[in-house]
Amino acid sequence: MITVGVSSDIALGAEHVSHAYGDADALHDVSLHLRRGEIMALVGPSGCGKTTLLRACAGLLSPTSGHIELAGSANAGGAHNAGARIGFVFQEPALLAWRRVEGNAHLLAGPGDAALVDRLLAATGLSAHRRKWPHELSGGMKMRLSLARTLAARPEILLLDEPFGALDQITRHVLHDEFSTLHSEYRFSALMVTHAIDEAVYLADRVLVMSQAPGRIVAEIVVPYARPRATALRFSSGFAALCGETARHLAGSA
């Protein structure tokens, strides 16, 4: 069940969410509160129910118990109700192969949002590739397009399911910074599932660590660094310590 209208600084709340697929428990009593404008990362071993939680937040799945709360919003839309607008970025780019780059970018945009789509294509470096087909793009460009397409719907909340998981390390780091820039410009709240610890710490304000299935939240790590963050942060000892702490919780949970 998803309800709308919790306190004003929480964009999305999960309250005691549990889910089972038949007899298999996937999630156990998970609660989290995503603040407005915050980036929150969820890390956990594979199969711990991260994706299940994300799909429940999006309304793509009804949890067995517990509920999802969305901040009230004037904008209607999304799968479930007239709540905040949710954008979902999938593990794979999920592009429509029969639409050109610009056709994909416009897929979710409103009729008057051509200028926004143009800005997003420029911000993701795709302006020169508007007339290309998805199969002509590199993996990184496909993911950028997927991100631009999702943002063109003006989501207030972005749910991301291992969005950079299929990319090589170099492309991934470039996209981290691009994503941060987009975040500072469009001010969405984001809940990102990942199993890359450095990615979680570099991008998020808070990192939640989940246990082996059935997933529970076993730790919350607050990342104190101000934005914008720069690549140099990756080489600092403080960053390494936070990654280490996250890894320790992850190991303890497995």
Partner 1 sequence: MKRAVPALVVLAAIIGGWYALAYSLDNNFASSDGSALIIPPPHRLLEGLNGPTIERIAAATRISLVTAVVGFVLSALLGIVLGIAMSLSRSLASGLWPWLIALQVTPIIVLTPIIVRVVGPSFAARVLVTVLISFFPIASNTLFGLQSVPRALHDVFTLAGSSRMQRLVRLQLPAASPSIFAGLRVAAGLAVIGSIVGDFFFTRGTPGLGRLITYFFLDTRAGPMFVTAFVASLIGLAFFIVVVAANRVCVAPWHRP
The residues that touch partner 1, with contacts defined as CB under 8 A, are 58-60, 77-79, 86-88, 90-92, 94, 96-99, 107-108, 133-135, 153
In sequence order, the 6+-apart residues with CB closer than 8 A to the CB of 92 are 166
What's the closest the beta carbon of residue 250 comes to partner 1, in angstroms? 26
Closer by beta carbon to partner 1, 151 or else 242: 151
Nearest distance from residue 80's CB to partner 1, in Å? 9
From 192, 162, 179, 209, select the one nearest 30 (Cα to Cα).
Answer: 209
Shortest distance (Å) from residue 167 CB to partner 1: 16
Max Cα separation, the chain?
A: 51
Q: Residue 95 Cβ, how far from partner 1 at the closest point, in Å?
A: 9
CB nearer partner 1, residue 47 or residue 110: 110
- E strands, the chain, where? 2-4, 10-21, 24-35, 39-43, 65-70, 86-89, 157-161, 189-194, 206-210, 217-222
Q: Let me know: does 219 contact 209? Beta carbons within 8 Å.
A: yes
Closer of 108 and 221 to partner 1 (Cβ) = 108
Strand, coil or helix: 44? coil
Select 98 or 235, whichever has its Cβ closest to partner 1. Answer: 98
